[in-house]
Copies of this chain bind each other. A is one copy, B any other.
Amino acid sequence: MEWEAIEARLNALLEAGRHGEMRGAMMMLNVVDIAQYMEKLDKEKLLLVFRILPKDISSDVFTYMSPEQKQLLIESIGDQEISTLIDNMFLDDAVDFLEELPAGVVRRVLQSAPVEKRNLINQFLRYPENSAGSIMTIEYLEFHTGTTVEKAMEIIRKVGLDKETIYTLYIIDEARRLVGTLALRKMILAPQDALLDDLMNKNPVSVCTTDDQEKVADTVRRYDVMAIPVVDKENRLVGIITADDVMDVIEDENTEDIEKMAALTPSEDEYLRTSPFRLFLNRIPWLLLLAVVAIFTGMIIENYEGLLKNASVVLTACIPMLMDAGGNCGAQASTLMIRGLALGEIQLRDIFKILWKEFRVGLLVGLALFLFTLARVLVVNQASFLVALVVASSLYLTVIIAKLIGCSLPLLAKRVGLDPALMASPLITTLVDATSLMIYFNIATLVLRL
């Protein structure tokens, strides 16, 4: 059934007040889809549908609602309902939710939350933003060394297994230090009296609470694991991070890189939810900085006033083409560097290999553009062969230099501890502009003797 049809059917049941059937219909849907359906409801209907929802999935549905709808709902329900809601949410989801709310609402939610959960949430809210600690969850299975398979199975049957546990058992010593991990599948197949210590992987990959989420994502991707344990400075186990949360981290980090590459201040808010003034603030710093750099490009042109006034207008007409081609060539090289560095495919020590490769690519790309431009200036602009040669050979040199600037700046940024993504198209373009004009005017003066 199409989504529009599902929506229409649910709306009809809601309008007709057939709440029992409505509950039955929703039980057939995924919680993510129910949350999407509730996105368009007004405050009154939202509350009604939330109360119609089967109790065992209402916290799950709540987790997938938008910040706006969550807040709307929180404002409508009683403290007891908030308490139950928070208690049934996974800790990491509850923390995410609170980070999105205004301070006043957070206070009310925390006051209503059960004491134990409240203390945990407060502790989690203190981890630095985007650290492993801030995205981990505490829903995992831990056992002390010396536990038998039989005993472990008994405990699992008692506490049950949550969605987030991902079937990995974490084994800790008497000081709560992580000493091993064990896949549930291995335990199921082992004899009842075996010790977990003998079955476990004694070299578990882990991350630290203060590690940046980018490092978490890199580690999970590198070792192909479905969940990774999080330890504190003393190697004590404090949480786990599951693959589904890592996927969101990967998308966030990619968005951040892409935004930086377009001279935007990265923002965690969705575009449609961001005010024009906020968007203005995200965009203007880089634009102003680049405008300052462009002053020098202007100075170069002013410096060659005589050349431009006396020579054919074709020289001026080719400035945009020269600048664009240089900028694009530099951007291509810098993009490949930025991406390669982000994925760990390129290391700083490769720099000479890279410069040599880009030089050869520049020779090829430059030659193709040289021939094209020579023909273009002769045919389209009807200029003399000497002028065409000036334009085309300036372009050739510009392409090679643009490739070298484009590939070295991201590596240089990485070397001095800056984010390579900052060395993308806008900055490269502006730098290459100045270089290409210098080359252009010098060649023109030399060849045309103006």
Binding site for B on A (CB under 8 A): 28-30, 32, 156-157, 160-163, 165-167, 183-185, 188-189, 202-203, 205, 220-226, 242-244, 246-248, 250-251, 254-255, 257-259, 261-264, 270-272, 276-277, 279-280, 283-284, 286-288, 290-291, 294-295, 297-299, 301-302, 305, 308-309, 313-314, 316-321, 323-325, 327-329, 331-332, 334-340, 343, 345-346, 350, 353-354, 357, 360-361, 364-365, 368-369, 372-373, 376, 380-381, 425-426, 429-430, 433, 437
Contacts and interface: CB of A to CB of B under 8 A. Distances in A.
DSSP class of A's interface residues: helix, strand, loop or mixed?
A: helix
A371 to B, nearest CB: 10
B226 A331 contact: no
A401 to B, nearest CB: 15
Contacts of A156: 188
A251 to B, nearest CB: 7
Nearest to A382: B302
A189 to B, nearest CB: 6
Contact of A290 (B257, B328, B340, B376): B328
A8 B224 CA distance: 25
A189 B203 contact: no
B361 A329 contact: no
19 contacts: A161-B185, A167-B167, A224-B244, A250-B254, A258-B338, A261-B335, A262-B332, A262-B334, A262-B425, A264-B335, A272-B350, A272-B353, A276-B361, A280-B361, A290-B328, A295-B321, A298-B381, A308-B313, A429-B429
